[in-house]
Amino acid sequence: MDWQLLLQQIQNGDVKTLARCISLVENELAGYETLLQQLPSSQTKIIGLTGPPGAGKSTLADALIGLLVDEGKRVAVLCVDPSSPFNLGAVLGDRIRMSDWYTHPNVFIRSLATRGSMGGLHPKIIEITDVLKAGHFDCIIVETVGVGQSEIEIAGLADVTVVVLVPEAGDEIQTMKAGLMEIADVFAVNKADRPDADLFVKNLRQMLAPTFSKHYDEVSVIKTIASQKDGVKELLRIVMNRLQKSHINDRTFWLLAEKAFYLIEQKRMKDINKANLKKEIEAGFQKGNFNLYKFIADK
């Protein structure tokens, strides 16, 4: 396979080739690492959208896409959906709310299943976003499944992370770990036309104050009603302003080190297959006196 030709086609805006190459990477087909090693460096920025299910992330993403397209920008969107633990297929793959953009020439949308990844992201998310960066998009939006605290790893991928919440999440916020609070560059309180939205925003800001004692002013809390596109312009303005201010610093290299660690870990675990493990464990159980720790020690 002529990977250099495929890369040139991606850089020339060929979305069919882009989709094909993402599939090659996603399924680890022969030679995909050659493509990754030929990817040029890129300054394309990544906007992360995360938060609990039902917060309106897809509707908010839809509204953001509309504003970016109106500005003449090319946008790529990765929607990471929860997977069935049994067949690893996407549960919410239809993405009806974004259906208007699937055929738009300046928008590329791809749904990915988490495939059992414990972090709420796709196991090949780093590689896939890097392939997207070769497509000369103005920005990439990554919308992650909201699964408790595990969406924290979006911070290692995105240049700006927007945590989407709803006013009814008051009790949920009280139980949030500090890590989730710290990953947000912006909090979008969506469905802000609901009762107690103002009180929720006030409480959220009070919770942020001790967490961000040194850089509290850097964290924005914005009220939005994504279904009516209310507050979305202000949210995009803040996000784009943060993207412009982002620069290479010590945190940048720590995040790259995290990515390198993850990729090396994935490579060394490549021969470990869950389905095979399941079969071996079943066989061990049938023999009797199965011990998980002895099983692992023998691997």
Predicted local confidence at residue 239, as pLDDT? 95
Q: Do 203 and 187 touch, CB atoms closer than 8 A?
A: no
Work out the average pLDDT over 123-133. 88
Work out the average pLDDT over 68-84. 84
Poorest-pLDDT segment among 75-84, 117-126, 141-150: 117-126
Query: Is it the case that residue 168 has pLDDT exceeding 60?
Result: yes
Predicted local confidence at residue 88, as pLDDT? 43
Give the three-class secondary structure for 119.
coil
Work out the average pLDDT over 52-78. 92
- Token couple for 203: 């409480």
Instruction: Compute CA 225 distance to the chain's CA centroid, rounded to the nearest angstrom.
Output: 22
pLDDT tens digits, 22-46:
999 988 888 888 999 999 888 899 9
Predicted local confidence at residue 122, as pLDDT? 64
CATH class entry, domain 42-251 = alpha beta
Predicted local confidence at residue 121, as pLDDT? 58
pLDDT tens digits, 230-239:
999 999 999 9
pLDDT tens digits, 173-228:
655 555 556 678 899 999 999 988 998 888 888 877 765 544 444 788 999 999 99
Closest CA to 146 of 214, 224, 50: 50
Predicted local confidence at residue 71, as pLDDT? 96
Poorest-pLDDT segment among 3-7, 25-29, 100-104: 100-104
Query: Is it the case that residue 113 has pLDDT exceeding 80?
Result: no
pLDDT tens digits, 256-268:
777 788 788 878 8
Predicted local confidence at residue 212, as pLDDT? 53
Q: What angle do CA 192, 108, 6 make, to 5 degrees?
A: 155
**DSSP characters for 39-96?**
PPP---EEEEEE-STTS-HHHHHHHHHHHHHHTT--EEEEEEE-B-TTT--BSSTT-G
Query: Is it the case that residue 91 has pLDDT exceeding 50?
Result: no
Average pLDDT of the residues of the chain:
81
pLDDT band for position 85 (50/70/90)? very low
Predicted local confidence at residue 155, as pLDDT? 62
Closest CA to 14 of 167, 136, 130: 136
Predicted local confidence at residue 93, as pLDDT? 45
Predicted local confidence at residue 8, as pLDDT? 93
Predicted local confidence at residue 271, as pLDDT? 84
pLDDT band for position 137 (50/70/90)? very high
pLDDT tens digits, 9-26:
999 999 999 999 999 998
Q: Do 109 and 174 touch, CB atoms closer than 8 A?
A: no
- Compute the distance between CA of residue 26 and CA of residue 197 in angstroms, rounded to an integer: 40
In the chain, the percentage of residues whose pLDDT exceeds 70 is 76
Predicted local confidence at residue 211, as pLDDT? 54
Predicted local confidence at residue 70, as pLDDT? 95
pLDDT band for position 72 (50/70/90)? very high
Closest CA to 298 of 284, 285, 287: 284
